Structure 1
Amino acid sequence: MSNSTLNLKAPRIEVVDALRGFAIMSIMLLHNIEHFDYYNFPEALPEWMKVLDKIIWETLFFLFGGKSYAIFALLFGFSFYIQNDNQEKLDKDFRGRFLWRLILLLGFGFINTIFYEGDILMIYAVLGIILIPVCKWNDKTVFIIAVILMLQPVEWFRYFYALLHPEYVFGPNLSDSFFGSMGAYLTSSSFLDYVIGNLSIGRFASIAWSWENGRFFQAPSLFMLGMLLGRKKLFITSAESNQFWKKALQYAVILFIPLFVLKTFLPEIVLRKAELTSLSIIISSWSNFAFMAVLVSAFILIYPKERVNKLLSKLIPFGKMSLTNYIMQSVVGAFIYYRYGLGMVEYTGATYSLLIGITLFILQISFCTWWMKTHKQGPLEYIWHKATWISFGKNKNF
């Protein structure tokens, strides 16, 4: 790559790297208290710790459940914008190269699934294809499509169908069957059993759960919104972007409060299960989006504050190595909790698991800080970058 190419690249935006680091950190903490989807709660714990476990569980899921992944999805779309914009400045079409990049991401997700069936990289790799056509659309069209997807159209169809057909009863969720079948290998002490189970039963459980909970619509919507934030330069500090994030914070808080209250009391308002299920998915999706907007807006607004910046900027190396950290937490976390490793699932409730997660985070961020002193990218980020720009025959533009 020539110097002129490098000069055309937009400088990295620190707040985005820090925000991505925040998202990965919170995802790690959630995965730990969930035992990486091995839901086992030790009974031989004192009552006070069981109470503390419940408080920690509910607090972390209130703060991060469905929000951390949403931040990650938003920044996925923003990263695409940066890469695509850099290539457009060189009069090059990035779309073919991006498709190849998604195929590579699918491979990383496959490796991650070996250790943790709840991997989101494979899902992002497939859903990310939507960015290829929409990147050429104007802002208004992209925004309208993003809003339609965020509204959860399939669940609205299911809701009105249930409303118009009182006699109809929706069948059980497919994911429940898959998750139930996972018990057959989660109790094993063989790593090979976990590999086979995660790549078959577990993978289908994760995909089915994502579909049933509206992720197949919300994620592409967030990809597009992230791309639009990039187009509008709203992650770059300016008077206009500062005003935008202040308004976004205000509107997000105003939206979140009634949505959260409605989500909480919805089972008492809607008694029929068929209608309740769809409405719960819709309201939960909107509530999570609103709170995600609160977190992102607040993070961006407080980031420039001197004392806050000294703390949050430490997340930058962690965010720059998000792919490495995401996969490594699965490898290490699975070994800690699953029975082929240390089997800590037997002994750790949410409190102990949170402490383990915090310890792993400290170790990872220390490694990232050390690594980035002598490298521009993390190990897996480097491999992904090099593989993305590999030459295919004589056509070096693809």
Structure 2
Amino acid sequence: MEQPIQRHARVDVADVLRGLAVMGIILLHSIEHFNFYSFPDASTQSVWLNFSDKAIWDGLFFLFGGKAYAVFALLFGFSYFIQYDNQRLRGRDFRLRFCWRLVLLFILGNINAAFFTGEVLVLYSLVGFILPLACRLRDKWIFVLACVLLVQPLPLYYIVRTIFDPEFAAPVLPTGSLWAATFEVQGHGTFLETLRVNLWEGQLASLAWAWDHGRVFQTAALFLFGYLIGRRGLFLKENLKFWNKVLCGSLVAFFPLYGLGNMLPDFVSNPAVRTPLLLVVSSLYKFAFMLLLVSAVLNAYYRTNLQQRMNTFIPYGRMSLTNYITQSIIGSMLFYNWGFSLHDDLGITASVLVGALIFVLQLTFCRWWLRHHSHGPLEYLWKRATWLK
């Protein structure tokens, strides 16, 4: 009798985390007006509405800013392990196939980038090659490599170089003209002009921003940490004690790092030291807060009676690629000139309500779609193209 093919079962809590992360992303993108940053004149609004706008802006960025993307990146590495190990169990080497999958992601990312300059899929498709290169290393070496990347080695080099050479100035990629071109087309361009500028100037500006702000090293580190989580089975209930330790450790680490980040501008006057040092510290405290969120969600999922309610996010997480790209299309249409041009009509409070409405509509669609299909539309196309079937 033929033995059944072994494979890893889908981990529901990973889909919950992914769904929560993409929800956080749509709320942030909505209040940013999808990287447009054009808003109604505050002087025409009431005091209470201005207060609400600031509270929502600060609250959402504290909770999700740099953390929702971090969870998304962590789960990208986790998903690679599941795919890689499923093929290993069948006697196949998935690494070259994953490289082709990254090429396909690059194409999907550029479709997304045509509508939204702040997208991350292109960055993921470039940085993702670290996974097939490192996946056969021993756990301790993957962990060491991830830690080195997490502490931002290039900014650390800039700090040391400046200490020994006060005349040294860290290079910054010139992006002023690129951002100016994207803002101009977002405010005044036609549909085709928006696509053209976003695909060239917008993508160059976005990738340069990711490089200057440490996202390249941080993303690579998160991919590797996610891969290790998969290899060690840490999202399974029997490993919840590990996340209890992570919860305590991240709480202890976050507040001193966050306080240090707020204090640095007052105590480090040299911008050549202050800027890269702030980047290193902010990268670490955002990582700590991301771990706090992940461990809190895992504890809530496995230890409380909230599991059924949290499972509501599973369809949204399973269709994260479809949701992420359609968010960009909808947001571009709502806020840019080629669409409804609502950027100077909707303040932050109204915009977060719009983002919440988009989330609810997408979640409703996901629940309906997955009752009839095993994959989301773009997830299905990506999978079929991966295997050339």
**Unaligned 5+ residue runs, structure 2?**
none
Cα distance in structure 2, aligned partners of 1:181 and 1:161: 34
Write the letter of the residue equivalent to 2:93: D
Number of the residue aligned with 2:341: 343
- Counterpart of 1:48, as a letter, is W
Gaps of 5+ in 1: 392-398
Determine what percentage of the aligned residue pairs are the same residue: 42
> Normalization by structure 1: what TM-score?
0.94
Report the CA distance between 1:193 and its aligned residue: 1.2
Q: Is the 8 A contact 2:261 2:278 kept in 1?
A: yes
> 2:201 matched to which residue of 1?
201
Partner in structure 2 of residue 84 of structure 1:
84
Offset of 1:51 from its aligned partner?
1.7
SS at match of 1:340: coil
Alpha-carbon distance in structure 1 between the residues aligned to 2:160 and 2:121:
33
Partner of 1:174: 174
8 Å Cα contact 2:172/2:212 also seen in 1: no
TM-score of the pair, normalised by structure 2: 0.96
Tell me whether 304-313 or 35-44 shows the greater mean CA deviation: 304-313
Change (3 A) 1:306 1:247: closer
Question: Is the counterpart of residue 288 in structure 1 residue 286 in structure 2?
Answer: yes
Shift of 1:237: 1.2
* CA 284–358 in structure 1, closer or farther in 2 if over 3 Å, else same: same
CA contact (8 A) 1:16 1:235 kept: yes
Q: Secondary structure at the match of 1:264?
A: helix
| Rounded Cα–Cα distance in structure 1 between residues aligned with 2:183 and 2:314 | 38
Contact 1:372 1:378 in 2 (8 A): yes
Instruction: Tell me what 2:111 maps to.
Output: 111
What are the superposed Cα offsets for residues 303-327 of structure 1, whole Å, 9 maximum, x if unpaired?
1245321221100000000000000
Does the residue aligned with 2:128 lie in a helix, a strand or coil?
helix
| 1:106 alignment partner AA | F
Does residue 362 of the first structure (1) align with residue 360 of the second (2)? yes
Please say which of residues 158-167 and 65-74 is displaced more in the overlay. 158-167
The Cα shift of 1:181 comes to 3.3
Between the aligned partners of 2:317 and 2:355, the Cα distance in structure 1 is 17
CA contact (8 A) 2:99 2:129 kept: yes
Output the CA distance in 2 between the equivalents of 1:189 and 1:144: 47
Structure 1 residue 328 corresponds to structure 2 residue 326: yes
- Report the equivalent of 1:396: none
- Which residue in 2 is equivalent to 1:380? 378
The match for 1:191 is 191
In the alignment of these two chains, the number of paired residues is 387
Q: 2 CA distance for matches of 1:26 and 1:169?
A: 36
Which residue number corresponds to residue 16 of structure 2? 18
* CA distance, structure 2, for counterparts of residue 194 and residue 208 of structure 1: 19
The equivalent residue for 1:74 is 74
Alpha-carbon distance in 2 for matches of 1:357, 1:199: 24
* Corresponding residue to 1:267 among 265, 274, 288: 265
C-alpha change, 1:307 and 1:176, in structure 2 (3 Å) is farther
- Between the aligned partners of 1:162 and 1:179, the Cα distance in structure 2 is 29
